[in-house]
Structure 1
Amino acid sequence: MNKSSQSSLLYQSQRGLTIIELLVAMTISLVIVIAAAYMYLASRESQRAIDRSSSSRETSAYVMQMLGREIMNAGFYPAIALPIPPDATQRGMYDTYPPLPAEPRVVTDWQNPLTGWPPTAFQTGIFGCDGGKLDVQSSTCPAVDNTLADTIVINYFTSDTPAMERTTGRRFDCTGSDAGGDPSNAERKKNSGGAPPGTPHTATANNIPPQLPIFVSNRFSLSSIKMSVDQQDVNSKSLVCSGNGQSPHGVADATAYQPIISGLEDLQFSYGVYSTDATLVPGRYYTASEVGALPSVVINGLTLSAWQRVTAVRVCVLSRTAGGNTRIADKTSAPRTYLDCSDTAKNQPTGDTITRSVEVFGLRNNLKQYY
């Protein structure tokens, strides 16, 4: 082989990619990188959408469980003595809500007709307002605004001590304040004083029960808030609560309703009312305004108002995702819908997802009869 042939072979063995081959290779590599990046971003966005939707469902589940526990406490009064069967005037004096006053009235009685206590909102274990918050100063409902969430008022009594609340019990209201601070509990919460202690008691010891069960009232509704999502302000609504320990009756408080959990869109209540003594099954469910308009009915010789005959509460919660981009697979020609609390179909908002949860809770302290 001559030198010319050897040089040609050496040149061919050392030759690299041409500029065209290099550009083609770079283009293919770039396409692969872009496709991988797109798949990563799409996967991440899908996961974030799933996380937001899951978080929204967990929010509604948490709210429903909390409200359910509270509703099932409505109308509870710790029985400290058996009723006296022969004396009809004693019926309900010790074992039902609300406790009846003595005749003549004594200082520890909870009801005081001379001062108009209690107002209608606290005369029964359960009460409600349509489209607005209960005014904590007047204990009355506002004018109905159908664009606003409802308010539910849950009342009961407890014999728990303040010390017990550190581990268990219901002495503190939903804001964490001691319900003993309500003026109607001023005498009932006393449990000591003197040796032996006088009757009624004149002082309070935190480690022993009150001399008589004390009144607890929690009111739940929604308020508009702003929350931060991915470093951006997002308009949302929060479940809020006002308790009679933090905001006693008759006391004005601009911050009466404290936020508990955000990510909600609507909160509506309807109330199952029974009308005959044959059964405690509700005939139908009414709004709070409708319940207030129903006439009283005589049941087993007792005249009962509609609120006294509520044995079930239907709760509707609408939760809403925060941050958007939870419906990335939606088609423009086929928008998704949801049912609101009035069973009306509506289009899902852009980017977000609204989920409805509905449950019915029985008022176990109203599910009883006298025989």
Structure 2
Amino acid sequence: MRKIIKRQAGLTLIELLVAMTISMVIVVAAAYVYLASRESQRAIDRNSTSRETGAYVMQLLGREIMNAGFYPATVAPFPPDATQQGMYDTYPPLPYDPRAITDWQNPATNWPPTAFKSGIYGCSGGRFNVADSTCPTASATAADTIVINYFTSDTKPMGTSTGRRMDCTGADVASQTGGDPSNIERKKNTGGAPPTTPHTTPNPALPPQLPVFVSNRFTLSALKMSVDQQDINTQSLACSGNGKSPHGTPDSTAYQPIMPGLEDLKFTYGVYDSADTLTPARFYTATEVNSLPTLDINGVSLTAWQRVTAVRVCVLARTLGGNTRIADKTASPRKYLDCSDTSKNQPAGDTITRYVEVFGLRNGLKQYY
């Protein structure tokens, strides 16, 4: 009986402890592998999202920049004007003499301001003020602002916010209850064929009487958001359009965030200085463009902003949520180039990626004959 009982005895305490220790090691190793895999996947997802953000912002700005200075060619031309000799199109549209009520320009009221006299305009290191259409004093740490102006003959889309007639916020620039005041007469289209019959009211389902003015301004704005249940302070691409935020709207309420995860936004402008070619002599900041002289090109007096034929865009995208560089070595910090081509250390936990692209102002490449 003693031998039988001994053969049926269970584990000893030492054997049980060894088994538990081995099990704990396996569980801890499995948990470590799981957590490491999860953090690696999160780092991959955050870096991928940041790259998509940078690419999207660049594509969005590129499409807008290539619209700058557009005026629909289907519209009947204005009477010949000596200042436009040899040009087949123009921005801004010329006024009649004497001035017609539908003219966009109004010298008597100093309309338009400098920012809208060319298809492209900008502010260095500061936010364009939509209340007075001016730039602030440049700040070395603030993002730039770009102002993109053009005209459109689109009808108002029914039930959607697409089309060139809608500004960057999705608002109609020629709406009856808002929109830009300069479009009040040009959007009227229900009185017959101009100019024999005056138009009285606008019909959004029809094209406007004359092309209406669109102005979109892009910069960065501070934004607080939640990522993985933690609050993060970041910057977002922000826009202000002249559909919902016309002239006179306070600057503090004009810009709406549309894409978070950016660190910086800079623009430089390619300006040509000779009638021989439209190739930019060099790229200037907005402040430098403002200081360039007006030149006589083929008998036409053009400001520096009217001679911009390309825009260089630099976007810095920054990951959200941290822990995106878990494999970095302490003694070898990773670096990146900012928009001034200065090498800097990557911030702790986050990754900054630079995107640079040059876009031609296709509506500014005017030919003379």
TM-score by length of 1: 0.93
Once the two structures are superposed, residues 277-305 of structure 1 have per-residue CA deviations (whole angstroms, 9 ceiling, x without a partner) of: 22211111100000111112222221111
> 1:127 maps to which residue?
121
Native 8 Å contact 2:270 2:284 kept in 1: yes
> 1:335 maps to which residue?
333
> 2:282 maps to which residue?
284
Deviates more, 1:177-186 or 1:249-258: 249-258
The answer to whether the aligner puts 1:252 opposite 2:256 as a matched pair is no
Native 8 Å contact 2:167 2:243 kept in 1: yes
Once the two structures are superposed, residues 299-319 of structure 1 have per-residue CA deviations (whole angstroms, 9 ceiling, x without a partner) of: 222111111111111111111
Q: How far apart, in 1, do the equivalents of 2:340 and 2:194 lie?
A: 59
Q: How far apart, in 2, do the equivalents of 1:89 and 1:200 lie?
A: 29
Q: How far apart, in 1, do the equivalents of 2:86 and 2:264 lie?
A: 37
- Structure 2 CA distance for partners of 1:9 and 1:57, relative to 1, 3 Å: same
> 2:56 maps to which residue?
62
Q: Percent identity?
A: 73
Q: How far apart, in 2, do the equivalents of 1:301 and 1:91 lie?
A: 8
Native 8 Å contact 2:84 2:300 kept in 1: no
Once the two structures are superposed, residues 119-144 of structure 1 have per-residue CA deviations (whole angstroms, 9 ceiling, x without a partner) of: 00000000000111111111000001
> 1:172 maps to which residue?
166
Match of 1:156 among 150, 156, 167: 150
Provide the aligned length of Structure 1 versus Structure 2: 365
Aligned AA (2:357): E
> 1:18 maps to which residue?
12
User: Structure 2 unaligned runs (5+)?
Assistant: none
What SS does structure 1 have at the residue aligned with 2:50?
helix
Native 8 Å contact 2:169 2:240 kept in 1: yes
Native 8 Å contact 2:145 2:219 kept in 1: yes
Native 8 Å contact 1:84 1:91 kept in 2: no
Aligned AA (1:226): K
Once the two structures are superposed, residues 15-49 of structure 1 have per-residue CA deviations (whole angstroms, 9 ceiling, x without a partner) of: 33222122112111111111111000000001001
Aligned AA (2:333): P
What SS does structure 2 have at the residue aligned with 1:27?
helix
> 1:347 maps to which residue?
345
What SS does structure 2 have at the residue aligned with 1:237?
strand
Native 8 Å contact 1:81 1:95 kept in 2: no
Native 8 Å contact 1:92 1:100 kept in 2: no
> 1:220 maps to which residue?
218
User: Which of the pair has the greater relative contact order for Cα pairs under 8 Å at 6+ separation?
Assistant: 2
Deviates more, 1:83-92 or 1:306-315: 83-92
- Structure 2 CA distance for partners of 1:81 and 1:38, relative to 1, 3 Å: closer
Larger Rg over CA atoms: 1
Aligned AA (2:306): Q
Give the drift of 1:160. 0.6
Aligned AA (2:367): Q
- Structure 2 CA distance for partners of 1:298 and 1:129, relative to 1, 3 Å: same
Aligned AA (2:62): G
Native 8 Å contact 1:223 1:237 kept in 2: yes
The answer to whether the aligner puts 1:210 opposite 2:204 as a matched pair is no
User: Structure 1 unaligned runs (5+)?
Assistant: 1-6
| CA root-mean-square deviation | 2.2
Native 8 Å contact 2:87 2:367 kept in 1: no
- Structure 2 CA distance for partners of 1:100 and 1:253, relative to 1, 3 Å: same
The within-5 A match list for 1:260-339 is: 260-339=258-337
Once the two structures are superposed, residues 145-168 of structure 1 have per-residue CA deviations (whole angstroms, 9 ceiling, x without a partner) of: 111000000000000111368375
